[in-house]
Amino acid sequence: MGVVLLQMGKADEAKAELETAIRLDPGLPEPYYYLGSLADRGNDFPQAIGAYEQFLKRAESSDRRFRAIRLRLAELRNHRNGATNGVRDVA
């Protein structure tokens, strides 16, 4: 339901549904992915980092989104840490 609400442009309602999904089954990676994406688009980078970290903990490395989120997470961490010397955190 949260994904459908996101597609409809109802971000606040989508966030609430995704958080409910996490409470019901915290082992699912999808709600964390979408919460991270939502936070990322809203420039709430600390929230995006947290959600993306949780996604990576739960998702299979074969998930098509895994590598992209790992790279985006490194970008967000570097931005947060003010890294400007070209050194990247790719954990």
Report DSSP letters for 22-49, one per residue. HHH-TT-SHHHHHHHHHHHHTT-HHHHH
Give pLDDT tens digits for 51-81: 999 999 999 999 999 999 999 999 999 988 8
Amino acid sitting at position 83: A
90: confidence class by pLDDT, cuts 50, 70, 90: low
Is the four-CA dihedral 18, 29, 69, 76 of positive or negative sign?
positive
83: confidence class by pLDDT, cuts 50, 70, 90: low
